[in-house]
Structure 1
């Protein structure tokens, strides 16, 4: 963190370029896209420590005790302010923070997401549902403390293991989604939906993909690992001919959110629940993939090679797995690439490449 930010970006670009050496030539890199070097994160995942009367928001220390992490430089300013206001309101609920060494207590984590329009989603990660009445009774006070609070939910995580959240999610208010407006698209995040944590850089990533889609101007687009519809909806809105756009995502909540956004935009995009890695039919002119860190794997690479779409757009958060997948796509060559510094002050990264058949 003591290295000047422009130097960090230059070094990060060099690391990513080295990992993709042999696939991406020097003249195929566009300038890196960067946002703010601090105050960029739209989501806070906080360990709740302290006592019932005086809880803390922060992290676990070396002894697995929750300690306060005040004035964190990661969070967007409006999110940081909301956390300060929520702390006394959470204390008033009377929930006992979970103590990892003794396995006692109820409130494990607080997960808070902020939108560009100042609205919030707050998730209470609880050991059991027994404390839900306390949160329900305190909804008014929570909203008074943080006026932008739109979605409140409880996630039940009864197990004692290093997993942040459990499978059961209970929405406690009237609203189920947090609208996230990026440029001309409003996405709808449900509590368990994935979304990029750097709003400014995510918007830049989607604009880049839309620009490439417009340039290619395909008749059909398939967005795999589509999440809440980021790439698919941008493909549907990209200038050019009318095109068929489909999206596949394993999480039903994300598909429901993507369908809602498409309906509001008035675009016809076919979002379906499914496992992208198990697909064998990818018969579209352009395939977009945005997989988790492990990449898309040999099976999906083989399906793409067999279907032979004209182009592939691959957005990756792990250049090492991207390189492995490019090795498994010998029928394609990279024509454009760009680094997006989604996670400043770290070596984590997002890189997007445009592949062309032949």
Structure 2
């Protein structure tokens, strides 16, 4: 794929962009096989490919430049603002917001934050689009100073972006290398963005996590659902459940009296998952905002099947050791960092990886998602 940002050395995030996509996919499959070599009996299913462009459903944009000439993109290594608003990776609904957001910055006088000078107010803009084209937009501010000018332009913004569903302000007061802070102020009447995934509508609140690539996420959930259907467990835990993608898909294919429990530390994500439960009038499925490790270690119970989708750091030795001692027969482990999954699996010598699949959530980079089925032997 040709990219003028890469050619000009302005952005090198897509480190594999010069490699033909088929070779990228083959390389990721080979990397997964190499990392999982300690489990030689694994059956590798065909990798799930992504679209090469227009696949990112979200943009995390650093705001730079000036009020008159704002830039939306990243910071270079020397702290300079690099405008990436012509990036080919974003879906059309996301990309179409960029010129409107730039005009809003100028109209409302939203002063970009300067990392070098530690001055200014608008740090980042976060945009997420659903498959239907609806938008969730978040302005990450240093303080509440820009609340009034942003509110003043709400009617104009809705006119320019009629598909805008959720609008919020996030406060990141500290001078710190984070994308967002803890405090959220929702300015819109609606509070969730419906995300259609397969035949389910998941709900995304401003501080909830959702996978970057909707099409590959759908394939990921279908794969997990297929393995759940084969197992027919009476009880299932989905640890690190996010907005409930795996749990809700699992509930569709489990026995009528089965029980599904989703655990996620983010209250925002749990509220999103509970909304889906209410909309579909589901029974036998519960979501709770708790620490996944603590829940497993302290519950005194063991499910028939365990679904894991931890952050990049993995499970860690304590939870991995608990799984090893638990007697759980089957585990579905989805990871965006296979190296940490391998570390966890070494803490579970009784579990054998029997099936695996590479999900290319992040084309043109070395990153990928892997889902693995583990069975006790």
Q: TM-score by structure 2 length?
A: 0.92
Aligned residues: 357
Partner of 1:20: 36
Superposition deviation, residue 61 in structure 1: 2.4
Q: Which of residues 304, 318, 324 is equivalent to 1:305?
A: 324
| CA deviation profile, 1:73-113 (whole Å, cap 9, x unmatched) | 11012211222333213321111111111111111111000
Q: 2:234, 2:255 within 8 Å by CA — same for their partners in 1?
A: no
Calculate the aligned-residue CA RMSD, in Å: 1.3
Q: 1:19, 1:323 within 8 Å by CA — same for their partners in 2?
A: yes
Partner of 1:40: 55
Secondary structure, in 3 states, of the residue corresponding to 1:345?
coil
Q: Does 1:120 align with 2:135?
A: yes
Q: 1:86, 1:145 within 8 Å by CA — same for their partners in 2?
A: no
Q: How does 1:1-358 map to 2 (within 5 A)?
A: 1-25=17-41, 28-238=43-253, 240-268=255-283, 269-278=285-294, 279-280=296-297, 281=299, 282-358=301-377
Superposition deviation, residue 239 in structure 1: 5.5
Superposition deviation, residue 241 in structure 1: 4.8
Secondary structure, in 3 states, of the residue corresponding to 2:146?
helix
Superposition deviation, residue 298 in structure 1: 1.5
Q: TM-score by structure 1 length?
A: 0.97
CA distance in 2, matches of 1:312, 1:24: 18
Secondary structure, in 3 states, of the residue corresponding to 2:156?
helix
Provide closer, same or farther for how the CA distance between residues 33 and 242 of structure 1 changes in structure 2, counting only shifts above 3 A. farther
Superposition deviation, residue 65 in structure 1: 2.6
Structure 1 runs (4+) greater than 3 angstroms displaced: 239-242
Superposition deviation, residue 24 in structure 1: 4.7
Gap regions ≥5 residues in structure 1:
none
Q: 1:46, 1:59 within 8 Å by CA — same for their partners in 2?
A: yes
CA distance in 2, matches of 1:345, 1:41: 12
CA distance in 2, matches of 1:62, 1:296: 32
| CA deviation profile, 1:244-285 (whole Å, cap 9, x unmatched) | 100111111111110111111222211111111222135110
